[in-house]
Amino acid sequence: MYDDDHDALAAEYVLGTLSAAERDQVEALLARDAGFAETVRLWEHRLGELNVMVEAVEPPPDLWERIKTGIDGAERRTQAASEAVEPADVLSEPADAAASAASPQIDASAEPSPQTVPDLLSDRAQGSEDSKTADIASTLLPSGPAAESADQLPKSTAPQASTGAETAPPHQNVGRWRGLAIGASAIAVLLAAYIAITHLTPGLISLGRQPQIITGALKPLAVPQLVAVLQQEPTAPAFLVMLDPQQRTITIRRLTAAPDSGRSYELWLNSNKLPNPTSLGPVGNSEVTTRSIPPNIDVETMRSATYSVSLEPGGGSATGAPSGPTLFKGRMIDAAPGSSE
Amino acid sequence: MLMQTELVWLLGAVARGDETAFQRLYEATRAKLYGVLVRILGRPALAEEVMEETYLKVWKTADQFDPATASPITWMVAMARNRAIDIVRRQGDIAIDEEPEAAPEPAADTPAPLARREMTAELKRLLGCLGRLDPEKQRIVLLAYYSGWSRDHLANKLDIPVNTIRTWLRRSLLEIRECMGA
């Protein structure tokens, strides 16, 4: 059986925090140790659901044609000519070229392989036959092994399905990879805080104005700077609240069932800098609601506030203050380092 | 909205070489995978390349998908993330402070079918367990997942010694495991 070192290694592999050298070792181990592969699969299962919180972004429309050309090329090597090709498929011609020039990755797929590690590392796996699992675990102890040199990169070039001008030739891709920047300033980072609920006693009535609804759908690539999870008990988060101080918008993602018809959830901002809870408006019935922050509330207040959700009559509280029970509550946590302000 | 069972069905059809099913699978999952990749890779062009690789791999290995042990979307996202993190790690975390390309500007009203699904029991459990960690530890776990940052990169960006990051990650992940049950 595997010890905690192995489990932590598998977990960090799935999380993505290992160095290049450590990832190579894990991938070598994966190829020859079915038990370890199962451990990794378990971690993919445990952590994989986090993808739900990643904002969907539409890829360019022409990407499908490139993928389709790629699979047409791959398919011809393994199956009889497909009858399912769409009419007027102008890309079928380049597909033949792509098939004949296909990378070893495609060839390898022709024979069934239980291996799920990236193909580009399979040769390295052979070279690491001697490595013991203990060696791998021990590499976690010394500080960061040097990253593998970038000469690994060219091997990993994808089969370039289309031969058209829209796809750069592989040698250019290498340059792009080398120049890859993952600066925090442009990468949207979702962070969440999970805060146990303590039931909130609503303050007195105020005449809070309800902010105007900007849009019903989350703007793609919106970069939430702060996130709170509103929940009633530690195991039942029900709303994710994402605050973008620059756009002065707040986005509410509903993770729980919509209220019964005739009732609404309403989001409130509670701050000791404000005399009363401020309504941020009813939470829409769609999964995501985006609203603007009222102009009288500054960024610091937004950051430090407690957010809560109450159950109100349909359309929201008629009084301007929470009139129904407060069901969920949470606080913002700081977000992407170096990317705010 | 495509439910998980429909995605499982589609993957089964893809394993039999059904191109129409593959296209439907692509349409149902492309925005989620691309969102994950853009976040980690920063560069749309690179994210597109990994998209091509990932879907080709899905096409070729759909028969290895086991609905008993994974959900289709987590299976596909794991595949895409692994490839993206390999690329980022392999070119080293040297270039981290370079300015990336401008973020892509997709149409504002494009549908995101998978974004609309209800929260799964697994996610609830995971969030509940994450919630038991200290906020700073939640932070590094989530930064690592969403941005694909290495320990060194986390240490650098958060100004925390890398050995502390190492200890926190290990402890946090093992706590998550205990919390979620074996």
The answer to whether B157 contacts A338, with C-beta atoms less than 8 Å apart, is yes
Domains of chain A: 4-178 (no CATH), 213-331 (2.60.40)
Sheet of A237-244: strand order equals A213-215, A288-292, A249-254, A237-244, A226-231, A326-331, A306-313, A263-270, A278-283
Gap between the terminal Cα atoms of chain A: 48
pLDDT of the residue at B155: 92
The answer to whether A67 contacts B130, with C-beta atoms less than 8 Å apart, is no
Residue B97, classified by CB atoms within 10 Å of its CB into exposed (0-12), middle (13-18) or buried (19+), is middle
The answer to whether A60 contacts B104, with C-beta atoms less than 8 Å apart, is yes
Class of domain B1-95: mainly alpha
The answer to whether A188 contacts B31, with C-beta atoms less than 8 Å apart, is no
Question: In the 8-state DSSP scheme, what is residue A333?
Answer: B
Is B158 a residue whose pLDDT tops 50? yes
A13: left (phi over 0), alpha (psi -120 to 50) or beta: alpha
The answer to whether A50 contacts B142, with C-beta atoms less than 8 Å apart, is yes
A195: left (phi over 0), alpha (psi -120 to 50) or beta: beta
Q: Which residues of B touch A152 (CB under 8 A)?
A: 90
Spell out the residues 6+ positions from residue A93 whose beta carbon is closer than 8 angstroms to its own: none
Distance CA A71, CA B23 (A): 11
pLDDT of the residue at B80: 96
pLDDT of the residue at A284: 80
Alpha carbon of A209 to those of A3, A244, A280, A289, A302: distances in Å? 57, 20, 8, 17, 16
pLDDT of the residue at A161: 37
Q: Looking at this protein, which amino acid is placed at residue B116?
A: R
Is B142 a residue whose pLDDT tops 60? yes
Interface of B with A in 99-138 (CB under 8 A): 99-100, 102-110, 112, 114-120, 122-128, 130-132, 135, 138
pLDDT of the residue at A178: 29
Class of domain B119-182: mainly alpha
Report helix, strand or coil for A12. helix
The answer to whether A50 contacts B126, with C-beta atoms less than 8 Å apart, is yes
Question: In the 8-state DSSP scheme, what is residue B98?
Answer: S
Mutation for testing the A interface, residue in B82, B133, B158 having most A CBs under 10 Å: B82
- What is the Cα gyration radius of chain B? 18
pLDDT of the residue at A256: 66
Q: Is B95 on the interface with A (CB under 8 A)?
A: yes
pLDDT (tens digit per residue) in B45-77: 999 999 999 999 999 999 999 888 888 999 999
- What is the Cα gyration radius of chain A? 26
pTM for the whole thing?
0.53
The answer to whether B139 contacts A333, with C-beta atoms less than 8 Å apart, is yes
Secondary element (H or E) of residue B24: helix B19-41
Spell out the residues 6+ positions from residue A275 whose beta carbon is closer than 8 angstroms to its own: A203, A206
Q: Is B168 on the interface with A (CB under 8 A)?
A: no
Residues A264 and A187 sit within 8 Å (Cβ to Cβ): no
pLDDT (tens digit per residue) in B20-32: 999 999 999 999 9
> Would you write out chain A's pLDDT as a tens digit for each of its 341 residues?
467 888 898 999 999 999 888 888 888 788 778 888 899 999 998 898 888 777 788 999 999 999 999 888 766 555 544 444 444 443 334 444 444 443 333 333 333 333 333 332 333 333 333 333 233 222 222 223 333 333 333 333 333 333 333 333 444 443 333 222 222 222 222 222 222 221 222 222 222 232 322 222 323 233 334 556 665 554 455 677 777 777 788 878 776 667 777 888 899 999 888 888 999 988 887 767 888 888 888 878 887 888 888 889 888 888 889 988 888 777 776 433 333 33
Topology agreement, domain B1-95 and domain B119-182 = no
**Domain regions of chain B by residue span:** 1-95, 119-182
Q: Which residues of B touch A14 (CB under 8 A)?
A: 78
Q: In sequence order, what are the beta bridge partners of A265? A: A283, A311
pLDDT (tens digit per residue) in A225-271: 455 666 555 445 567 777 777 778 887 877 666 777 788 889 999 98
